[in-house]
Amino acid sequence: MLSDRFRLTIALLSLLAIAGIVHILVVLSVPDNVSHSAYAKLDQFGPDRSFNLLPDVMPGAEPLPALDPAMKHAACRFQLSDGPVAFKADVPVPFWSIGVFNAAGEAIYSLNNRTAGSDDLSMLILSPAQLSILRENPPDDLEDLIVIETDMQAGFALLRAYAPHPSLNALVATALTAAECGSLT
């Protein structure tokens, strides 16, 4: 015969285990149930296949989650079904970085001016099939390009530049707006 205290302990432990399982299942299902992805939100800032300057990061009014307020940001949405995407930029600041994300917001590739070894960005993203075609007829500047092969169909690039002083904000914004995100030429 089990004591009442032992039964109560077993019931509480069972309840705690069930609550833990439900909690884990809810947390794991959140990404599948989010309807407002960064990829979808970027549609409001401008056309695809061009870098669109994002508004400055202000508390409570962030254009995208987790952006650094010390940086200026520009984003470019793309679909690889429209062809390879070439990124070119000359951002005259002490630090810039570019992140490439799939449509779910998962990071695919990241690069900054220090790891690139240059202040200029020259990068190409393409699918395996597009890379096969490119190998048959490579562009003249292929040796200058950072080539990224991916299976993703749609995604976006986020170009970030550090403006060390507010007086440089206009210069940085102009450089980000002039950055290219388009077809391979």
Q: Give the pLDDT means over successive 10-residue stretches in the chain (185 positions).
A: 86 94 89 72 92 90 85 95 94 92 92 86 94 86 88 95 89 94 83
Q: What's the maximum distance between 2 C-alpha atoms anywhere in the chain?
A: 85
pLDDT, residue 62, reads 83
pTM of the full structure:
0.78
Quick one: 121 and 46 in the same domain? Answer: yes
CATH for 143: 2.60.40
The per-residue pLDDT for 117 is 80
* Ordered DSSP codes for 52-85: EEPPPP-TT--SSTT--TTEEEEEEEEEGGG--E
Looking at residue 185, what is its pLDDT? Answer: 67
Residues 120 and 178 placed together within one structural domain of the fold: yes
Report the domain count for the chain: 2
- In this predicted structure, what is the pLDDT of residue 96? 94
For residues 45 and 70, what is the distance between their CA atoms, to the nearest angstrom? 20
Residues 16 and 54 both lie in one domain: no
80 lies in which domain range?
38-182
My answer on whether 138 and 101 are in the same domain is: yes
String of b and e for 107-132 (b: at least 16 CB within 10 Å)? eeeebebeebeeeebbbbbbbeebee
Strand, helix or coil at 168? helix
110 forms bridges with which residues in the sheet? 99
3-state SS, residue 148: strand
